[in-house]
Amino acid sequence: AQKVTQAQTEISVVEKEDVTLDCVYETRDTTYYLFWYKQPPSGELVFLIRRNSFDEQNEISGRYSWNFQKSTSSFNFTITASQVVDSAVYFCALSERNRDDKIIFGKGTRLHILP
Amino acid sequence: GAVVSQHPSRVICKSGTSVKIECRSLDFQATTMFWYRQFPKQSLMLMATSNEGSKATYEQGVEKDKFLINHASLTLSTLTVTSAHPEDSSFYICSAHLGAEGGTDTQYFGPGTRLTVL
């Protein structure tokens, strides 16, 4: 069964618009971690955030914010006032303590910020 | 933060040859390293888990005789693609697990190695 679902394959928005990337996960573990990574064209993964299953507090970091809701098994990522440099593929991922902390990635959302 | 390096960053080889990719944790010891493969415009797929001093654990569908993994020290894991074929062309990424008490552990990813098999 797919563990992490990113339903949006590709999104295009005009610069300065806000955009939300959706992520829904599936796990039976009570202890798990959720992640977001950015992968620019260079290919190198850029770590954005890690959230553990016991911390449902939303987080804001500059233009980035994350909404973690266990009730809906979602961990959505919002970029406000998007910029062209935000164009990349964004991956949501899950690791489960009972599965040796292997990180399982969603299929990714390709984000295009148009000037 | 912790740094993980990979070498080489890019390699082109002829079909039938073997290619070795190194993954190093530069400023920490990693008891566990992971190897991922990413085909163009696809997600990262976990290939195997590499533990220092023991045999690697491979994910379903990954041929252990084709993708040899050696984790000889706490800072180095190597992936050897044996008898490479064009379908093995991919982006290979490793990660090193920095374990810590209290649940503060995390993984750090290398920059990736792009393999092209002609």
Confidence of residue B27 (pLDDT cuts 50, 70, 90): confident
B42: contact with A, CB 8 A cutoff:
yes
pLDDT in the model for residue A100: 64
Q: Which of A33, A44, A105 sits opposite B43 (nearest CB)?
A: A105
Rounded Cα distance between A112 and A83, Å, is 10
Whether the bond between B8 and the residue before it is cis, its omega within 30 degrees of 0, is: yes
Q: Tell me the mean pLDDT in the region A71-90.
A: 97
Helix, strand or coil, per DSSP, at residue A70: helix
Q: Can you give the three-state secondary structure of B14-29, one letter per residue?
A: CCCCCEEEEEEECCCC
- Asked if A22 contacts A73 with a C-beta cutoff of 8 angstroms, the reply is no
Rounded Cα distance between B48 and B52, Å, is 13
For residue range B37-74, list pLDDT tens digits in order. 999 989 999 999 998 888 899 999 999 999 999 988 88
pLDDT in the model for residue B1: 67
- Asked if A24 contacts A40 with a C-beta cutoff of 8 angstroms, the reply is no
For residue range A22-68, list pLDDT tens digits in order. 999 999 888 899 999 999 998 999 999 999 899 888 889 999 999 99
Both tokens of residue B52?
């220092």
Q: Among A31, A39, A89, which would you mutate to test the B interface (most chain B Cβ atoms within 10 Å of its Cβ)?
A: A39
Cβ distance A103 to B95 less than 8 Å, yes or no, reads yes
In the predicted model, is pLDDT for residue A91 greater than 90? yes
Rounded Cα distance between B63 and A20, Å, is 38
